[in-house]
Amino acid sequence: MSPSASRPSNATLVLLASLYCAQGLPSGLIAHSLPVLLRQHGVDLALIGLLKLLALPWLLKVLWAPWVDRLASPRLGHHRGWILPLQSGVVVCLAALALLAPQTLFGSGLWLLLGLLVLINLLASTQDVATDGLTVRLLPERWRGLGNSLQVGGYKVGMIVSGSGLLLVIDPLGWNLALGLLAGLVLLMSVPILLFPERRLLPFQPAQAESALGPRLLLNHYRGLLAQPGMLLWLAVVLTFKLGDSLGSPMIKPMLVDQGWSTAQLGQLTLIGSLAGIGGALLGGLLYARIGVLRALILFGALQALGIAALALLVGQGANTGLVYAVTLFEQMADGMSTVALFAAMMRMCRPEHEGADFTLQASAQLLLSGFVGAGSGVLAKWVGYEGLFVGAGGLGMLVLVIVLAHAQREAATKGARLRP
């Protein structure tokens, strides 16, 4: 089915929002709730630190993503045939956690807990590959910004529910009932994809997929992606677009801690900031449909850089709560808008029947480099101070927009050459 430029149906929007929310539900449990619960049960800090390693499947999924694009279920449909079993597996794992006593899981059964969490991340990260591929195929280019708004917003809503929400209800409800409700929510999020008639609307086109199924599939798939005209310059955009944000944002909370902010105050700021980020993502998606990819990348990238640089105004101003909220919420909104623009632009570079893996390679490369840069933000803050860090990160964010312009010029020149007789 050739996608039209009309706005996607409400059923399509609900489908995508439910799939990305389903990914955020277990992620919030692992990232936000479990570290608190483990420490309350006396688990060693070194073991709690291992939770970060459980996210490795999200980085390594690039290694098996081509098989998600290549293999399709003749009965369930291509992406649906992956998403339904994988999401069902997450439900089973969460239900297993709900049936076990927390005293066992956080004591003698700790390694069982860690094993189930690795399995949950493996299932959810692979579901993400199929979901991204489905999103690219479902949405016409004009509305991919809105699709990525649902991606960012749905994922953050899921993380809020299973992070802050779970911590609020676990004392009155208990571990077993709270985890059972979480499993039930993921199951509820599976209803839209269960009802989605993918075989009729988006039939698999094996002629456009890779012919190989063995070990050469990985090489053939990504070699084909990198061979596209202008792809190397575009990858430079992908790798650098969020570097300013990655360098500056990790130091926001340490700076506020140094200025006397309590854990409760930071928790409230984080929650409201997450909601601002969701609002920014939704606004960015709507504006993307009106102004197009280039203007969105330049405008939202500039706002992102301005937001990071503005954090320098908070140095020594921790007691000015209004200023802290104004600047940090602006930064969160700009981050949501710029993320939507980048992800929507990444979808433009995906080939038919290669959507999931092509998007995964770009996203994984961006996250990996951003992670390395973010890891050095503390060292740089000690060297130049918070103010120097934020101003420098904002300047870096503005500088990388030159690469965006270079990519746009090359793309325009390529289109002009195609139009000439």
pLDDT tens-digit profile of 39-93?
Answer: 888 877 777 777 777 888 988 999 999 999 888 888 898 999 999 999 999 999 9
Question: Are 14 and 79 found together in one domain?
Answer: yes
Place of tokens 């799939």: 19
Roughly how many angstroms between the first and final C-alpha of the chain, as a whole number?
30
231 shares a domain with 170: no
Here the CATH number for the domain that contains residue 91 is: 1.20.1250.20
pLDDT, one tens digit per residue, over 163-172 is: 878 888 888 9
pLDDT of 4 higher than 50 = no
pLDDT tens digits, 82-138: 999 999 999 999 999 999 998 888 888 888 998 999 999 999 999 999 999 999 889
222, 176: one domain:
no
Q: Is residue 206 part of a domain?
A: no
349 with 287, same domain: the answer is yes
In a domain, 419, yes or no: yes
Tell me the DSSP string of 53-108. Answer: GGGHHHHHGGGTHHHHHH--BTTTBHHHHHHHHHHHHHHHHHHHHHHS-HHHHTTT
If asked whether residues 160 and 233 sit together in one domain, one would say no
Beta bridge partners, 77, equal: 73
Q: What is the gyration radius of the CA atoms in the chain, in angstroms?
A: 22
pLDDT of residue 5: 61
Q: How far apart are CA 186 and CA 162, in angstroms?
A: 11
3-state secondary structure 307-320: HHHHHHHHCCCCCC
What angle separates helix 355-375 from helix 377-399, to the nearest 10 degrees? Answer: 130
Looking at per-residue pLDDT, the higher value among 204 and 17 belongs to: 17
Q: Which of 97, 96, 154 is nearest to 128 (CA)?
A: 154
- Confirm if 256 and 247 have CB atoms less than 8 A apart: no
Q: Are residues 172 and 222 in the same domain?
A: no
Same domain, 359 and 392: yes
Judgement on whether residues 183 and 277 belong to the same structural domain of the protein: no
Residues 238 and 335 occupy one common structural domain: yes
pLDDT of 3 reads: 42
**Closest by CA position to 354, among listed 227, 190, 201:** 227
> Would residue 211 count as lying in a domain?
no
pTM: 0.82
Is residue 273 pLDDT above 80, yes or no?
A: yes
Residues in the chain: 421
Q: What percent of the chain shows pLDDT beyond 70?
A: 95
Which is higher by pLDDT, 372 or 282?
282
Contact 227, 355 (CB under 8 A): no
Task: Tell me, yes or no, whether 57 lies in a domain.
Answer: yes
Query: Is a pLDDT exceeding 80 seen at residue 263?
Result: no
The pLDDT tens digits of the residues spanning 374-400 come to: 878 888 888 999 899 999 999 999 999
pLDDT band at 416 (very low <50, low <70, confident <90, very high): low
Number of domain units in the chain: 2
Considering the domain architecture, whether residues 411 and 334 belong to the same structural domain is answered as: yes
- Output the pLDDT for position 31: 79
Does an H or E element contain 26, and which? Answer: helix 10-28
Are the C-beta atoms of 229 and 362 separated by less than 8 Å? no
**Above 50 in pLDDT, residue 248?**
yes
Whole-angstrom Cα distance, residue 233 to residue 370?
Answer: 18
- The Cα 323–Cα 311 span in angstroms is 10
Instruction: Provide mean pLDDT across the span 408-420.
Output: 66
297-302 mean pLDDT: 95
Mean pLDDT value across residues 162-189: 91
Classify each residue of 131-141 as buried b or exposed e, where b means 16 or more C-beta atoms within 10 Å of its C-beta.
bbbbbbbbbeb
pLDDT of residue 212: 65
For residues 172 and 297, membership in a common domain is answered with: no
Quick one: pLDDT at residue 256?
87
Parent domain of 188: 8-197
Q: Which tens digit of pLDDT belongs to each residue from 189-241?
A: 999 999 999 988 888 887 776 666 777 888 888 888 888 888 899 999 999 99
Average pLDDT over residues 255-277: 84
